[in-house]
Structure 1
Amino acid sequence: MSDRAVKFLEETQPATPCLVVDLDVVERKYLGLTQNLPLSEVFYAVKANPAPEILGRLAKLGASFDTASAGEIRSVLAHGVPGERISFGNTIKKASDIAWAHAQGVRLYAFDSEAELEKIAAHAPGAQVFCRILVEAEGALWPLNRKFGCVPDMAAALLAKAATLGLEPHGISFHVGSQQLDTNQWDRPISHAKAIFDKLAASGIELKMVDLGGGFPASYTTGTVGIEAYGQSIMEAMTKHFGNRLPRIIVEPGRYMVGDAGVLEAEVVLISQKSYSAEDRHWVYLDIGRFGGLAETEGEAIRYRIEPSRQIDGNSRPVVLAGPTCDSADILYDKAKYEMPVNLKIGDRVRIFSTGAYTTTYSAVNFNGFEPLKAYYI
C-alpha cells in the first residue's frame, strides 16, 4: 500500500471522488516481478491503467507492452517505445488497425480463430503470431474463460496454417484469470502449450514462445501470497514440462502492476434505511459507484478494502454500499457483509485501497452528468 498516496490526500484534500497513484509502487512491483521471474519478458497490460505517467515510468525501466487497440499502441509509441517491444494482444482487431500497427513496426500479434489469422496474414505479412488457448481459470476472482481462446487442437492446426500464409508461428498464450489466487493454475495450460510445441515440431514447425498472461493479484480484502510464490510455481511448471529447453517466456501483468499503487477517496453522500426496523441495514451512498470507476464490484467479486479517512470510535454495523447515480444497478456491495462505523456521518470521507487498476479506464464519460474520475500521479 502507498503511504505517499495517503499523505497526499491528507495534505491536499482534493475534491472527491479522486484517485491517487504512487508511481514508486508501480516501479517496485515491476522490479519484484523481474526478480522473481528473471527469465521472462514483462509486457505491461496497458488496459489496466494507460496513464502517460505509468507508461513513461515503465518505458524507462525497460518494460514491453501488451496492447488491446491502436489507441493503446499510440500511447506507448509516444514514449519512444519501439514496435518490437509491443504486442497487439487482443484477439479481436480491425483490419485497418492491424495494417497500421504493422506499419509502426509492431511484429507480434495474438489470434484465436481462423478468420483473425487470415486478417493478420493479409495486413501484417510476415508477422509473428501466437494463438491463445482456452483455460478454465479456476481460482480466479475475475475469470476470463469464455470470450478468448480456442481449444488446443484448434490452436495447433491454426499455427500450422499460419506458416502456409507467410506468417511466423511464434507461440502459445493463455490467461489463468484475473486476480488468480491459486499459484498452481499455470501448470495445466503450460502442459497444453508443450503438447502443441511437440505436435508442431513433428511437422517441422518450431514454436519459440509461451505467453503466460497475467493473473498476478493485487492486495484486496482476500488474502494473497507474494509474487515470490507465483514465480517459483510458474518456473517449476515450465521446467517440469519443457525441461532445460525453455522457450521465450512472456508475462502480461496489469492489475498486479498498478492496483496496489492507487488509493481512491470518496465522500459519503447519504446514509439511510429502507424501513424503521432496527434490523434493517443502513445504506451508505458514496459519490463514486460502478459507473464512476468501480465497475469491478459487479458480482461483488473484487472486494476492495474500504475505511473511513478519519478515526471514528465506536462500534460498526453491517451496511449496503452504493453509488450516487440514478441507476438501480449502481450498488457496490450488498452480499459481501461490509461494515462501517455507527458514527459515520454524511460528509465523511472514505478511502478505497488497491484501486490503481481498472478504475479510471472504467469511469463513464458523463453518465448522469457526473465527471470522469479525477486521478493524480505522484
Structure 2
Amino acid sequence: MAALDPKRYDINILENGGTVREFIDKKIDELSLADCSEPFHVADLDDVYKKHLTWSENLPRVTPFYAVKCNTTPAVIRTLSALGTGFDCASKAEIELVLSLGATPDRIIYAHTTKPEAHIKYARARGVHMMTFDNQDELTKIARCHPSAKLVLRITVDDSSSLRRLNLKFGARPAAAGGLLRRAGELGLDVVGVSFHVGCMCSDSRAYRRAIADARHVFNTAMGFQMSLLDIGGGFPGSDNFPLKFEEIAECINVALDEFFPPDCGVQIIAEPGRYFMETAFTLAVNVFAKTVTMEDAAEHNGKDAVLTMETNENTSLSCLISWQLLKRCRSRERRYRSVIWGPTCDSMDRLTDSCLLPELQVGEWLLMDATGAYTLSVSSNFNGFERATVFSVVTPETWRALILLLEQTLNTMNFYCPVLLILFCFCFLLLFNRFNCI
C-alpha cells in the first residue's frame, strides 16, 4: 500500500468533514503568515474518483486510458492507476513516469503516430508493445526498432464539430488503410486494431457514431490481421458548463458500439480521456501583485465605467482552458467591473482573460480559478524566472479508504497469481531440462 501512502506523496486527508475550499483558505492564511504569495493548485482526488465512477456507469464497455499529456501530477496518476485505468502516453518520458507511479506495461498505449526511434526502443525495453501508426515510414521504423509491437492504425475522421481539430495532423485517410495494412504485412508486423479521435471538445455526439462506423469498415478490410482492439480516442467534456453533456456522448457511443461492435464480437474497446478526468479536479489560487484602473465610455450608464487591469503571479498557460470560473474571496453583492487579467511575464501574449466581471481587487488579494486541471500545468513554463505553481492534493477519508481497498484487491490478486506463475515457470524449466538431457 506504499503506492498510496498519503504522507510519502503529499496527499492531504480532509479530516472532520473539511472541504476543498476550507483547505484553500487555510493554505492562503499559512502563506500570508509566512510572507509568501506564490501561486498554487489544489487537486481534488475525490473529483477524479467520482469521474471514474461516472465513466464506469455510462460507458461500461469502454476502458479509459488516461491521456497523460493533460496533467502529469503524480498523485493523480497514482489514483487512476489504483482505479485500474490504462494510460495513453506520447513519449519516453510519459512512459517512464507512469511506470514509476504504479502502472504496468500492458496498461499503456504509446499513442503517438510519429515517434523518435530512441523512444520506440525504450518502449520495447520496458515491455510496452501497443502503439499507433498512420504512415509507411512509421511502419519502417517500428519494424526496425520494435518488430513485436502490437500496432493500432489511426484513421482520420470527421472532426468539424470540435473546438480543436486534431485530424489536420494525425491519422491516415480510411481509403489509405488498405495500403498501410499491406505494408505492415510485408514487414511482418502485427496490426491489432484501429484508433481515431473526433477532436477536442466535440459538440456533436454523432461524430462518434460516424467515426465508429468508419473504424468498422477498416476492420472489415483487415487483410488477414486478427484485429481485437478499437480505440475511440478522446474529446470528452470535463465540465457541465459545456453544451454537450458527457452522458449524451456516452449514450450515442453505446448505441454505435452495439451496432458495429456488439459485445460478443471479441473486440476490446478503449478510449483516451484527459480533460474529462482533470478539468474540474483542480483549483488555482493566484495573488494579485499589480493593478491599473482606467475609465471607458459606458453608454448604458450615461457616463464612465471602470476597467480593472490586474497582474497575477501565475505563469501557467490558461490559454488551453475551455471553461473556468474566477472567484474572489469576497461578499457576493459587491459591484463587478470588467476586468483584464495578465500573467506575470513580460510577454504581451501572457493574458489570462481580456473580459470578465469581478469585484474590485486590491494588490495582495487572492483570486481563485476553478476548473484549471486540463492542459495548464503540462504547458506551463518558468519563462522570466517565474516558478511553476505548487500542487497540493487532497482527498476525503471515505474516498481514501475506497482507493486503499481497490489497491488491496489488486495486491491480493497478484499474491494469488505470482505463486501460480512461479510453479508454471518451474514446470516448464523441468520439461526443457529433461528434454535436453534426453538429447
Q: Is the Cα–Cα contact under 8 Å of residues 78 and 102 in structure 2 kept in the other structure?
A: no
**Could you tell me which of 338, 342, 348 is aligned with 2:356?**
338
C-alpha contact (below 8 Å) 1:174/1:213 kept by paired residues: yes
Q: Quick one: structure 1 residues 159 and 281, their matched pair in 2 at CA, closer, same or farther if it must change by over 3 Å?
A: farther
Give the 5 Å matches for 1:291-306. 291-296=315-320, 302-306=322-326
Query: Partner of 2:254 in structure 1?
Result: 235
Which amino acid counterpart does residue 237 of structure 2 have in structure 1?
P
Q: Which runs of 5+ in 1 are unaligned?
A: none
For each residue in 1:91-142, what CA deviation from the matched residue of structure 2 results, as whole angstroms up to 9, or x when unmatched?
Answer: 1211011011111111101111111121111111121111212233233233
Structure 1 residues 269 and 233 mapped into 2: Cα distance closer, same or farther (>3 Å)?
A: same
| Cα distance in 1 between the residues matched to 2:388 and 2:233 | 29
| 2:218 matched residue in structure 1 | 196
Q: Distance in 1 between matches of 2:375 and 2:237?
A: 13
**SS at 1:347's partner residue?**
coil
Q: Distance in 2 between matches of 1:251 and 1:145?
A: 16
Counterpart of 2:19 in 1: which secondary structure?
helix
3-state SS of 1:257 partner: helix
| Stretch deviating more after TM superposition (247-256 or 214-223) | 214-223
Which AA in structure 2 matches 1:287? T
Deviations 1:302-341 (A, max 9, x none): 231112122253332322232221111112223xx42112
Within-5 A mapping of 1:190-229: 190-200=212-222, 203-219=223-239, 221-225=241-245, 227-229=246-248
Q: Deviations over 1:213-247 (max 9, x none)?
A: 1111122754442x332221101112233345362
- Tell me the SS of whatever aligns to 1:159: helix
Which whole-Å CA distance do the structure 2 matches of 1:224 and 1:268 have between them?
34
Give the superposition deviation at 1:288.
4.6
* 331, 338, 346: which one aligns with 1:311: 331
CA contact (8 A) 2:235 2:273 kept: yes
User: TM-score if structure 1 supplies the norm length?
Assistant: 0.89
2:130 is matched with 108
The CA distance in 1 between the partners of 2:45 and 2:181, in whole Å, is 39
Give distance in 2, aligned partners of 1:303 and 1:332.
12
State yes or no: 1:94 paired with 2:110.
Answer: no
Q: Distance in 2 between matches of 1:275 and 1:313?
A: 22
Q: 1:369 aligns with which of 346, 366, 385?
A: 385
**Would you say how many aligned residue pairs link Structure 1 and Structure 2?**
365
Contact 2:289 2:313 in 1 (8 A): no
Among all aligned residue pairs of Structure 1 and Structure 2, give the percentage whose two residues are the same amino acid. Answer: 35
Higher helix proportion? 2
Q: Paired residue for 1:282?
A: 307
Rounded to whole Å, the distance in 2 between the matches of 1:284 and 1:218 is 29
Is the Cα–Cα contact under 8 Å of residues 4 and 22 in structure 1 kept in the other structure?
no
Q: 1:153 to 1:280 in 2, by over 3 A?
A: farther
CA distance in 2, matches of 1:349, 1:84: 44
The superposition leaves residues 240-284 of structure 1 with CA deviations (integer Å, 9 ceiling, x where unpaired) of: 333453621111111111211101111223332456656576243
SS of the residue corresponding to residue 221 of structure 2 reads helix
Tell me how far apart the structure 1 counterparts of residues 127 and 197 of structure 2 sit (CA, whole Å).
Answer: 25
- Give the 3-state SS of the residue equivalent to 1:170 in structure 2: strand
Q: Is 1:138 equivalent to 2:160 in the alignment? A: yes
| Contact 1:220 1:304 (8 Å CA) reproduced | no
Question: Closer, same or farther in 2 for the Cα pair 1:348/1:139, shift >3 Å?
Answer: farther
Q: Which residue of 2 aligns with 1:168?
A: 190
Matched with 1:254 is 274
**CA offset digits 1:188-227 (Å, max 9, x no partner):** 1111111111122xx33332211011111122754442x3
Q: Of the two, which has the highest radius of gyration?
A: 2
Within 2, Cα distance between the matches of 1:253 and 1:219? 13
Assess if the C-alpha contact under 8 Å between 2:308 and 2:338 holds in 1. Answer: no
Matched residue, 2:22: 7
What SS is found at the alignment partner of 2:377? coil
Q: Secondary structure at the match of 1:344?
A: coil
AA of the residue aligned to 2:374:
A
Name 1:349's counterpart in structure 2. Answer: 366
Contact map agreement 1:121 1:165 (CA 8 A) in 2: yes
Distance 2:182 2:286 in 1: 53
Question: For 2:296 and 2:375, how far apart are their aligned partners in 1?
Answer: 38
Match of 2:347 among 327, 334, 356: 327
